[in-house]
Amino acid sequence: MNIIELAGVTKEYPGGVAALRGVDLAVAQGELTAIVGPSGSGKSTLLHMIGTLDRPTAGTVRIAGHDVAALSDRELSALRARHIGFVFQQFHLADGVSALDNVADGLLYAGAGLRERRERAARALDRVGLGGRVRHRPNQLSGGERQRVAVARAVVGEPDLVLADEPTGNLDSAAGAEVMELLGGLHRSGTTVAIITHDPEVAALAPRRVRVRDGLIVDGAR
Amino acid sequence: MSAPGLTPARLGGRDVVRVGFGGLRARPARAVLSALGIAIGIATMVAVIGISSSSKEELLRRIDRLGTNLLTVTPGDTLFGEGAELPASAPAMVARIGPVTAVGATGATDATVRRTDRIPKEVTGGIAVQAATPELLRTLDATVRSGGWLNAGTARHPGVVLGSEAARRLGFDRAGGRVWLGGRWFTVLGVLDPAGLAPEIDRSALVGWEAARRHLGFGGRPTTVYERSADASVAAVRDVLARTVNPENPEEVQVSRPSDALEARAAAAGAFTGLLLGLGAVALLVGGVGVANTMVISVLERRREIGLRRSLGATRGQVRVQFLAESLLLSAFGGVAGVLLGTAVTVGFTLYRGWPPVVPGWALGGALAATLAIGAVAGLYPAMRAARLPPTTALATV
Ligand SMILES: Nc1ncnc2c1ncn2[C@@H]1O[C@H](COP(=O)(O)OP(=O)(O)O)[C@@H](O)[C@H]1O
Ligand SMILES: [Mg+2]
C-alpha cells in the first residue's frame, strides 16, 4: 500500500512563483527515500505537501489513505499528530526545556498524559543514544545531539511516516552520519522515511532517490 | 463528512496551564514586568476599597459603642420665625415618659470663660458656658478624665467641669486650678473625656444648674434635653417627645438622633472616592495594555515554536488556547500580587490608624474577575494571530 500518493500536484505561491508544477509521486509503506535537487528546486515545498503542512494549488495529495483536500484543518492536525513525525534542519528545540520534555512534547497533541509522555520520551531518548542526556538543556548539547533529540521527538509517537528536511545540513559529517544511521534504523524497523538532502553521500545511503528540478520530479517518481 | 479516526485529542486543562506557564518561564523578567502593571492597578483598587471599608467599619463599631438610643430635644422656630424656647419643665416632663431611662439637660448662658481676668472678654476660644443637670453625665454615657462631676454639693458653688476640647483650649489637662468665668473665679472640678455623641459638650464649660442661676443670670430654661430609652422604644419615644415637652406648640420643638449623623458619615466613608478608584482603573487599563503588548511581541518572536507545534499536531484552537492561557496566567499573577499588595497596604494603614482592617470578599472576587477579563481581552488578539499563522510560514521564520 502506498502511504504517500501525489498526483498532478502544483503549488503556486502568491507573487506567481510555481514551486511545484504537476508532481506525481508514490511512496510505499516502509520505504526509505532521499529527495535530492538543487536549492530552490521545490524540495521543501514537496515535503510540506507530504506533511500536510500546506495544501496544493491543484492536484491531489493522499497520505495514509486520506485525501488531504477533503480534510479540515483540525483533521489534518490530528493526521500529523498520529501519523507523521518531522525533523527540521534547525532542530526547533525549546531553549531552557530539558531534552526529556522537548521529546515529551512530541506526544502532547496525541492525547497522552504527562507521565506516559515522559516515560515514552525517556525510551525514545534511549533509542537515539541519549539516555544519559535526559536532563540536559539544548544549549548543553552538541549540534549532533540536538538533532538526535529532534529525531527522538519525531519518533516518540511511533508515526508511520518520518519526514526530514536537510536533517544533516547544520551538522559536521560525523554527527550527520549518526543522524542518518538513526533514520536508517527507523526504516529497518518498518517506518516510512523521506529525507531531503543535497549531500550526494547522504543520498547514496538511501535505497530510493527522487530527483527534483524546477518544481518537477525528473527521476525516481515511479 | 469527518474522516474516521481523525479527531484531534483534547488538550487537558493541566497541559494547557503547563504549556502557558512554560512560555512565561522562558522570559521571566518580561513576565514579571508586564504582570507588575496589573498588580499596581489591582493593588490600588483593593487598597481604596479596603481602606474605605475599614473606615466605615470603624465608624459602625463606634456607633455600636455609643448606642443609637440617645435622642436630643432642642427648640425650633415659632410660627413667626423667631427662635422658640423650651419650657423650664421640659427635663421633668421627658423623665415621665415610660421607657425613658435617663434625662439630662444643658442650658446656654451668656457668660464667657477665660484662663485669667486679664484676657479680654472677646477672646472666648469658642467655648460655651452652659448650665448642666447632674444626670447629664450618665445620660450621655460620658466619663470624667480627671477630678469629679457636678454633684448636689458642688452644683450650688462656683465650680466648673470642662469638656475635653474646652479644657485643651484653656490649657487644662487635669482638674484643679481656677478659670475666670462670668466675672468671678470658678474652681475647675473636673475634666471630661470626649463625649462621643455630643461633641457640643466637648466645647463647653459646664456649671451646676443652681450655680448658673445664682452667679450667671441663667433663666433656668434648658436649650438641649438629652434622653436615653430602651433600644426597642426609641421610635415610640421619638413620636411623643415634642408633645410631651411642649403640649401647646409641639411644632416648636426639634427632636433629633445624634447617631444618625454618625451613620451618615459611615455610609459616606463606605462610598469610596471615585477619583482614587478611577486612578486604579487607569493603572489596570495600562497594565492590560502592557500584557497585550507582551503577548503580541511574544507571538512575533515565537513563530517557529508555533510552526513546530502545528507540525506536532496542534490545532489552531490549541495554539489559540495556549496563548490565551499564557495571557490569563500573566494577568492572574499580576492580580494575585496586586491583591496581596492591596491587602497589605490596607492592613498597614488601618493598623496605623487603629481601625479594624476590612477587605470585603466581593472586592477580592471583583479583583480576580477583573484580572481574568483583562487577561482574556489582552490575549485574544495575539492568540488569534498565532492561531491564524500558516504552519509553513511559521516554520520558515528565520
Ligand atoms: N512561502 C513562500 N512564498 C513565496 N515563495 C516561496 C515560498 N516558499 C518557497 N518559495 C519559493 O518556491 C521555490 C521552491 O522553494 P523550496 O521548496 O523551499 O525549495 P528547496 O527546498 O528545494 O530549496 C523557491 O523559488 C522559493 O523561493
Ligand atoms: Mg528547502
Q: Specify whether B155 is located in the same domain as B245.
A: yes
Parse chain A into domains and list their residue ranges. Answer: 2-219
Q: A204 in helix, strand or coil?
A: helix
C-beta of residue B190 within 8 angstroms of C-beta of residue B162: yes
Q: Specify whether B281 is located in the same domain as B328.
A: yes
In A, minimum Cα distance to B10 occurs at A111
Is residue B7 in a domain? no
Is residue B49 in a domain? yes
Owning domain of residue B112:
70-257
Q: Specify whether B251 is located in the same domain as B310.
A: no
Q: In the listed set B232, B257, B282, which residue is the last one of a domain according to the structure? A: B257
What mean pLDDT value characterizes chain B? Answer: 86
Q: Which of A80, A95, A114 shows the shortest C-beta gap to B311?
A: A80
Whether B18 and A51 lie within 8 Å, measured CB to CB: no
- CA dist A197 and A214 (Å) reads 16
Q: B201 in helix, strand or coil?
A: helix
Query: How do residues A163-189 score in pLDDT, each as one tens digit?
Result: 999 999 999 989 999 999 999 999 999
pLDDT band at residue B3 using 50, 70 and 90 as cut-offs: low
Q: Which residues of A touch B3 (CB under 8 A)?
A: 66, 70-71, 75
Residue B261: is its pLDDT beyond 80?
no
Q: Specify whether B122 is located in the same domain as B250.
A: yes
Q: What is the largest CA-CA distance in chain B?
A: 110
Is residue B3 in a domain? no
Q: Specify whether B303 is located in the same domain as B361.
A: yes
Q: In the listed set B235, B257, B279, which residue is the last one of a domain according to the structure? A: B257
Residue B220: is its pLDDT beyond 50?
yes
Is residue B6 in a domain? no
Q: What class is the A2-219 domain?
A: alpha beta
Which of A89-93, B152-156, B390-394 is predicted with the least confidence, judged by mean pLDDT?
Answer: B152-156
* C-alpha radius of gyration, chain B, whole number: 35
Mean pLDDT calculated for residue range B3-7: 74
Residue B250: is its pLDDT beyond 70?
yes
pLDDT band at residue A66 using 50, 70 and 90 as cut-offs: very high
Q: Specify whether B94 is located in the same domain as B176.
A: yes
Q: Specify whether B203 is located in the same domain as B301.
A: no
**Number of compact structural domains in chain B:** 2
Q: Specify whether B182 is located in the same domain as B302.
A: no
Q: Specify whether B230 is located in the same domain as B377.
A: no
Q: Specify whether B97 is located in the same domain as B209.
A: yes
In A, minimum Cα distance to B16 occurs at A108
- CA dist B322 and B3 (Å) reads 26
Q: Specify whether B161 is located in the same domain as B117.
A: yes
Distance from CA of B37 to the nearest CA of A (A): 26
Is residue B387 in a domain? yes
Is residue B1 in a domain? no
- CA dist A8 and A21 (Å) reads 8
Q: Specify whether B186 is located in the same domain as B119.
A: yes
Q: Which residues of A touch B2 (CB under 8 A)?
A: 72, 75
Q: In the listed set B257, B283, B315, which residue is the last one of a domain according to the structure? A: B257
Q: How far is the CA of A42 from the centre of ligand 1 (A)?
A: 6
Whether B312 and A106 lie within 8 Å, measured CB to CB: yes
In A, minimum Cα distance to B392 occurs at A53
Distance from CA of A175 to the nearest CA of B (A): 23
Pocket, ligand 1, Cβ cutoff 6 A: A 13, 15, 17, 19, 37, 39-45
What is the predicted pLDDT for the residue at B75?
85
Residue A31: is its pLDDT beyond 60?
yes
Is residue B19 in a domain? yes
**ipTM of predicted complex:** 0.96
CB atoms within 10 A of CB B126: 9
Is residue B4 in a domain? no
Q: What are phi and psi of A157, to 5 degrees?
A: -90, 10
